[in-house]
Amino acid sequence: MVDKKLPQKWDEKADIIIVGSGFAGLAAAIETKEAGSSVIILEKMKGYGGNSTISDGVIAAAATKIQADLEITDSSQHMYEDMLKAGLGLNQPELVQALTERSSETFQWTIDFLGVKYLNRVDQFGGHSVPRSYTTYNRSGSAIIKQLLQKVNDLGMRIRTKVFLQTILVDSKERICGVLVRDGYEYPDATTGIAKYIKARKAVILATGGFANDIELRTSQDPRLTSEIGSTNKYSTTGEALREALRIGAMPVHLSWIQLGPWASPDEKAYGIGPDFASYIAFPYGIMVNPKTGNRFVNELADRKIRSDAILLVGQPCIGIADEEGIRASGHRIEHCLRKGVVKKFNQIHEIADYYQIPIHSLKKTIEQFNDYVDQRFDEDFNKPILSNAKPLRYPPFFCIRLWPKVHHTMGGVLINSKAQVLNLSLQPMKGFYAAGEVTGGIHGACRLGSCAIIDCLVFGRIAGRYAASNQKI
Ligand SMILES: Cc1cc2nc3c(=O)[nH]c(=O)nc-3n(C[C@H](O)[C@H](O)[C@H](O)COP(=O)(O)OP(=O)(O)OC[C@H]3O[C@@H](n4cnc5c(N)ncnc54)[C@H](O)[C@@H]3O)c2cc1C
């Protein structure tokens, strides 16, 4: 598609324009610069880092040195199979292969090259068949963003904030040749700022994240996801750049696969802190019950889609329960969750039943049954993995959380190949156009596993940067 709006004169020129300053954009910037290209990084908001900086900073990687030291047997093939299973086989195999094969090396790059520090632990998140999730020292993606920014600075690059990508420009040879931006933009008003044309001599890399807070776009794909359903994402996670990529002919994939987080609580806004308790303690060491029946209803360590769909089917917030021993075994602290009131403390099972109006007899029976499964190391009802250090749920005080899913991740986006080139409607690479991170689709299929987004962004951000830098200049 030839764009009618090519300027007579460009305001600025660079080899590569990167749009977005999250994990994917910054990883791409480092690679392009290291390969000797000039780079301009654009960011529509006044702060850097997008969702990346508010993420939990948990990154998955298979067959790492840390796993080997802990005698955890894993392989990229094993991780590939887990991702395909959760994705219901809708994942693009070549993309999953590229991600899983590079996961260990990329994780090590964050340590050796970027200097990211991690907690001395490996966790097993829902849908992963072994422990392979590593958490940054401050339990936040900001620890990775800070180190990426440091490298970006060291390499002499600067991020242009409040610059909004409005139009991607295509020349008469069907090559992406630059962008029209609004410089001085004030979110969300696309008429603010000054129009500027920036030429990309080699490529444009789109790293603009997902669209979890774009109510119009998400309800066009899944009408259930109205403004009534909360989101864990930054308010600015909207899909203008994705729509622009589709306008110029990028192939969309999986736009209606939108992930809800089963560990979210209706008792706080956005992502909050309840997921710290649910993901690390209640799900792996405790149980989740339907308050109407007092029964468990799903494998608490199944993938996010299975758990969220199961909670939605119950039709009201469900209750996650753990005890003092679960907290000890997890190695996590929950004072912050108790202070905020999102997690409640109880001395007796009947107090839990009274507070949440759960039938006491069935709740007691459910806990006894679960404790038998822990003792025999096998969950006959839901086949939930019983962790090696898990103990029966009988050591007061007990801790509970109400759980109701929130929109968390958009699996869909533009289709790329394993060189991170954006494909057009004829499934051919669009010349000079690359994408990485949550703006792309097809990698996670129907369901992204926890901790697989950060590794996705870093692996494909780096790939996009390297291949874009190898293009001929125009
Ligand atoms: C609360 C929370 C916790 C999470 N925790 C984890 C975790 O522990 N592990 C994990 O693997 N994943 C996690 N995720 C998911 C993961 O953080 C995201 O998928 C990932 O950060 C996306 O990175 P990105 O670089 O693609 O996009 P982002 O980090 O969102 O960056 C995109 C940037 O592009 C900018 N932008 C968008 N449109 C334009 C435009 N038109 N012009 C200019 N700039 C634009 C945005 O403002 C934004 O700054 C979490 C997500 C959330 C919300």
Closest CA to 3 of 248, 204, 209, 194: 248
What per-residue confidence (pLDDT) applies to 4? Answer: 56
Give the pair of three-digit tokens for residue 149.
């920014």
Best mutation site among 55, 58, 273, 438 for ligand 1 pocket (most ligand atoms within 8 Å of CB): 55
Per-residue pLDDT band for 3 (boundaries 50, 70, 90) equals: low
Burial class for 472, CB neighbours closer than 10 Å (0-12, 13-18, 19+): exposed
CATH no. for 263-404: 3.90.700.10
What per-residue confidence (pLDDT) applies to 266? Answer: 95
Whether the CB of 125 sits within 6 Å of ligand 1: no
- Its pTM stands at 0.92
pLDDT at 2 over 90: no
What per-residue confidence (pLDDT) applies to 141? Answer: 98
Closest CA to 472 of 245, 171, 205, 200: 200
Tens digits of per-residue pLDDT, 268-324?
Answer: 999 999 999 999 999 999 999 999 999 999 999 998 989 999 999 999 999 999 999
**Region for 369 from its dihedrals, namely left if φ exceeds 0, alpha if ψ lies in -120 to 50, beta otherwise:** alpha
Whether the CB of 166 sits within 6 Å of ligand 1: no
Mean of pLDDT values over 202-212: 98
Whether the CB of 167 sits within 6 Å of ligand 1: no
Domain range list for the chain: 1-258+410-474, 263-404
CATH no. for 1-258+410-474: 3.50.50.60
CB neighbours of 329 closer than 8 A, spacing ≥ 6? 285, 387, 389, 390, 391
Active centre residues (catalytic) = 304
Atom nearest to 52 CA in ligand 1: 21
Using CA atoms, how far residue 248 sits from 124, 167, 412, in Å, is 41, 9, 17
- Rounded to whole angstroms, the Cα distance separating 304 from 408 reads 10
What integer best gives the mean pLDDT of the chain? 96
Tell me if residue 56 falls in helix, strand or coil: coil
Residue 447: alpha-carbon gap to chain centroid: 11
Atom nearest to 231 CA in ligand 1: 53
What per-residue confidence (pLDDT) applies to 1? Answer: 58
